[in-house]
């Protein structure tokens, strides 16, 4: 099951869950109405007229619905700032960008590497310092506002490989759309629970008398509301547990596909099963996030269990596992002084050259700056070559150039949201090769803006002069010095490092105020338009940052479920194809051929649409992508495959085409790994 099928499945599951909760709420309302009717009849003097039952029952129904609805809305609103709100509600501490703690540095490196390999923004990173159990969770509305949280026990007890397995498991939830579902579960359950809590308080403060005159009817109704409310909570938790269990095996399988080895994840699960603290959370709010966790955090079992048993999960990864061996292994793990490896960097698995170029597999690559035919996320597979380049994989480019091979559309679309071992190894190499000053600046709250602006400055001094004046006006002369210092070293940045560096700034940008983020966006577009024309890379960088900032400012509306089909977005699709064909092919006849190939792939029937490169292309592109983001997942897959056919129509791909494809996929919320499979 690929990314698009998983997205469709998650949305269908979300709809089923909402229907089940709606039925549960209606059942609660109906049961309470029945008790109210009984109380009215029981409290009526036979010699008097009966009270008007219908208005009272209607008012009761509205009150119950209002309590549940408003409470759910309030809880979801309280989580509207994204995954960081969930992490902080449990008392988690944000990992500082300049942390000197080797375990936290190792955690940050692992998270950043997996984010680069997945093609998604880097999430914020938190640690539950008071939790000695091994656990973790991912929370947020979309990848752009996600937060990854791990326990102190996970940092202390897990090796780097094991930590990679756990983080890859959480990224699977992030990519599969589970986080948005989890946030909704938290809000809906809170609404039903609050109804029961209010009724309990009414019952507590009601008169202790059986006399109807002293409020016996109120006591009866309050007791019924409390009882039915807790029954609703019971069934709501059953729904939550069922949804969670069904996603855990999938997340384990995705983590194994990602890291391409079972030992790391299996080792983490074995330690979680063997240590005394297990996966339990001591936090009083642990039950609320139980369905988000890596392992069961509150000790529930049976139908209430939010996770499959650890032993069952281990055996799926290691069929030879014998639970009887755990006690002997756990002796060392339970030692209070036991600490797993504390290296803050991955082992030197790649050579210096491959670290710079980010190639997957066993490859021999040219030294940085050497002439090479590898480019823009692709590597040439030369027939009969002894260079060691794996023809089944393609790497990250150091230089621009033509590509003789052609990508297979179905293979590329299968990579969306499904990074593999090659993606992770390439991302590790790329991450290790990032210049220290740029990486430190991208992580720093104050300097992250400098990184984005420095990446966008023009190499031509005639254009850069007015750009620097704009920056000085917006940010002052002092910041201008730092930006110019970064720009001075930008020439040494290989092309494949530019967009990842921009993506690494997101955790820091998230902590800026709304006004600061708005000012950054205005400044970016002013820099882009400083010379009156827009280069493709300028648009790619500005669009990437714009999408990330938009998700930060309004996370609830990020990656909302789309309902449109391709037939409903024909104009937007053809506009997107025309822009990519025009920028990938300077020759008009080649652009026409590429456009025809893409259009025929997505609209095989009917007359051939005309090829008209839109002007201005940037605004047309932005409008088209905003519309196409509302496509259903299967339509997005067909669109991406058509784009690959278009880009490959002339038998070569360029750096700029590769960057365009990745940014377009990002705008469609279809994250594409940096290594594209041929």
pLDDT at 572: 93
Domain harbouring 255, CATH code:
3.30.2010.10
Say yes or no: 275 and 228 in one domain.
Answer: no
Say yes or no: 198 and 287 in one domain.
Answer: no
Say yes or no: 103 and 163 in one domain.
Answer: yes
pLDDT at 623: 92
Say yes or no: 436 and 489 in one domain.
Answer: yes
pLDDT at 389: 28
- Give a yes or no: residue 476 inside a domain: yes
- Give a yes or no: residue 600 inside a domain: no
DSSP 3-state assignment of 188? Answer: helix
CA distance 453 to 432: 23
- Give a yes or no: residue 302 inside a domain: yes
Q: In which residue ranges of the chain is pLDDT below 50?
A: 49, 209, 211-214, 343-405
Measured CA to CA in angstroms, residue 332 lies from 157, 159, 279, 336 at distances of 10, 14, 17, 9
Q: Give yes or no for a contact between 230 and 196, defined as CB atoms under 8 angstroms apart.
A: yes
Whole-prediction pTM value? 0.76
pLDDT at 205: 67
- Give a yes or no: residue 282 inside a domain: yes
Q: Which two tokens stand for residue 216?
A: 């016996």
Say yes or no: 144 and 190 in one domain.
Answer: no
- Give a yes or no: residue 225 inside a domain: yes
> Which residue in 357, 498, 515, 372 sits closest to 438, CA to CA?
498
Kindly report each contact of residues 40-43 with a partner whose C-beta sits within 8 Å and lies 24 or more positions away, as own/partner: 40/217, 42/212, 42/217, 43/212, 43/216, 43/217
The alpha helices in 277-325, defined as continuous H runs, are: 310-317
Say yes or no: 78 and 187 in one domain.
Answer: yes
Strand pairing category for 147-151 and 124-128: parallel
Say yes or no: 163 and 258 in one domain.
Answer: yes
Say yes or no: 230 and 282 in one domain.
Answer: no
Say yes or no: 25 and 77 in one domain.
Answer: yes
Domain boundary pick from 544, 579, 609: 544
- Give a yes or no: residue 412 inside a domain: no
Number of domains in the chain: 3
CA distance 275 to 94: 26
| Cis-peptide into 640, omega within 30 deg | no
- Give a yes or no: residue 376 inside a domain: no
DSSP 3-state assignment of 151? Answer: strand
Domain boundary pick from 544, 573, 604: 544
Measured CA to CA in angstroms, residue 220 lies from 52, 196, 206, 438 at distances of 19, 14, 10, 67
Domain boundary pick from 513, 544, 575: 544
- Give a yes or no: residue 645 inside a domain: no
Q: Give yes or no for a contact between 167 and 123, defined as CB atoms under 8 angstroms apart.
A: no
In the sheet that 93-94 helps form, which strands lie side by side, from edge to edge? 93-94, 124-128, 147-151, 136-139
Burial grade of 564 (CB within 10 A; 0-12, 13-18, 19 or more): middle
Say yes or no: 233 and 305 in one domain.
Answer: no
Say yes or no: 450 and 535 in one domain.
Answer: yes
What dihedral angle (degrees, nearest 10) is formed by the CA atoms of 654, 659, 662, 663? -140
Q: Indicate the DSSP class of residue 569.
A: G
Say yes or no: 91 and 152 in one domain.
Answer: yes
pLDDT at 600: 92
Range of the domain at 441: 430-544
pLDDT at 269: 92
Of 112, 131, 162, 170, catalytic: 170
- Compute CA 35 distance to the chain's CA centroid, rounded to the nearest angstrom: 45
pLDDT at 135: 94
Secondary structure (H, E, C), 453-485: HHHHCCCCHHHHHHHHHHHHHHHCHHHHHHHHH
What is the tens place of the pLDDT at every residue in 129-173? 999 999 999 888 778 788 999 999 999 999 999 999 999 888 888
170 is an active site residue: yes
């Amino acid at each position: 099951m690929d990314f698009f099928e998983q997205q469709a499945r998650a949305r269908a599951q979300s709809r089923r869950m909402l229907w089940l909760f709606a039925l549960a709420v209606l059942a609660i309302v109906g049961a309470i109405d029945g008790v109210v009717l009984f109380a009215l009849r029981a409290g009526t003097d036979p010699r008097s007229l009966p009270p008007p039952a219908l208005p009272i029952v209607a008012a009761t129904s509205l009150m119950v619905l209002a309590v549940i609805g408003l409470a759910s809305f309030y809880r979801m609103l309280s989580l509207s700032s994204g995954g960081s709100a969930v992490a902080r509600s449990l008392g988690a501490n944000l990992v500082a960008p300049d942390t000197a703690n080797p375990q936290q540095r190792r955690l940050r490196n692992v998270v950043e590497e997996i984010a680069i390999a997945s093609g998604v923004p880097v999430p914020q990173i938190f640690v539950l310092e008071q939790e000695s159990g091994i656990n973790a969770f991912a929370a947020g509305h979309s990848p752009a506002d996600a937060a990854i949280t791990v326990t102190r026990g996970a940092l202390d007890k897990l090796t780097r490989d094991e930590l990679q397995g756990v983080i890859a498991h959480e990224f699977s939830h992030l990519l599969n759309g589970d986080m948005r579902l989890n946030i909704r579960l938290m809000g809906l359950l809170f609404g039903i629970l609050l109804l029961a809590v209010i009724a309990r308080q009414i019952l507590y403060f009601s008169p202790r008398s059986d006399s109807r005159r002293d409020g016996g009817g109120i006591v009866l109704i309050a007791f019924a509301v409390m009882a039915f409310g807790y029954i609703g909570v019971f069934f709501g938790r059953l729904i939550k547990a069922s949804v969670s269990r069904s996603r855990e095996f999938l997340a384990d399988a995705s983590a194994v596909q990602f890291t391409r080895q079972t030992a790391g994840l299996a080792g983490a699960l074995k330690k979680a099963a063997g240590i005394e603290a297990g996966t339990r959370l001591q936090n009083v709010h642990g039950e609320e996030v139980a369905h988000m966790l890596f392992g069961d955090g509150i000790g529930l079992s049976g139908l209430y269990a939010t996770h499959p048993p650890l032993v069952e999960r281990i055996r799926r990864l290691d069929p030879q596992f014998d639970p009887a061996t755990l006690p002997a292994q756990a002796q060392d793990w339970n030692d209070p002084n036991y600490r797993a490896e504390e290296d803050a960097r991955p082992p030197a698995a790649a050579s210096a050259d491959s670290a710079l170029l980010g190639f997957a597999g066993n490859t021999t690559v040219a030294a940085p700056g050497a002439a090479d035919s590898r480019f823009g996320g692709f590597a040439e597979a030369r027939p009969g070559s002894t260079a060691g380049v794996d023809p089944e994989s393609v790497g990250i480019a150091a230089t621009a150039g033509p590509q003789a091979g052609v990508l297979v559309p179905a293979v590329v679309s299968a990579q969306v949201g499904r990074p593999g071992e090659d993606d992770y190894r390439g991302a590790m190499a790329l991450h290790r090769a990032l210049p220290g000053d740029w990486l430190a600046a991208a992580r720093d709250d104050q300097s992250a803006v400098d990184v984005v602006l420095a990446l966008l400055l023009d190499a031509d001094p005639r254009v850069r002069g007015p750009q620097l004046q704009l920056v000085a006006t917006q940010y002052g002369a002092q910041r201008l010095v730092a930006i110019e210092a970064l720009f001075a070293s930008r020439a040494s940045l290989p092309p494949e490092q530019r967009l990842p560096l921009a993506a690494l700034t997101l955790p820091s940008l998230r902590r800026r105020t709304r006004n600061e983020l708005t000012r950054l966006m205005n400044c970016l577009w002013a820099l882009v338009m400083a010379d009156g024309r827009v280069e493709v890379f300028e648009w790619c960088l500005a669009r990437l940052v714009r999408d990330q900032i938009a998700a930060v400012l309004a996370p609830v509306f990020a990656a909302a479920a789309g309902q449109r089909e391709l037939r409903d977005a024909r104009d937007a699709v053809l506009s997107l194809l025309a822009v990519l064909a025009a920028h990938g092919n300077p020759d008009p006849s080649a652009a026409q051929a590429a456009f025809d190939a893409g259009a025929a792939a997505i609209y095989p029937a009917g007359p051939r649409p005309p090829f008209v490169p839109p002007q201005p292309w940037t605004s047309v592109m932005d409008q088209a992508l905003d519309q196409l983001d509302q496509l259903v997942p299967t339509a997005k897959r067909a669109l991406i495959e058509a784009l690959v056919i278009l880009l490959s129509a002339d038998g070569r791909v360029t750096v700029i085409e590769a960057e365009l494809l990745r940014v377009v996929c990002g705008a469609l919320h279809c994250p594409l790994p940096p290594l594209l499979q041929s």
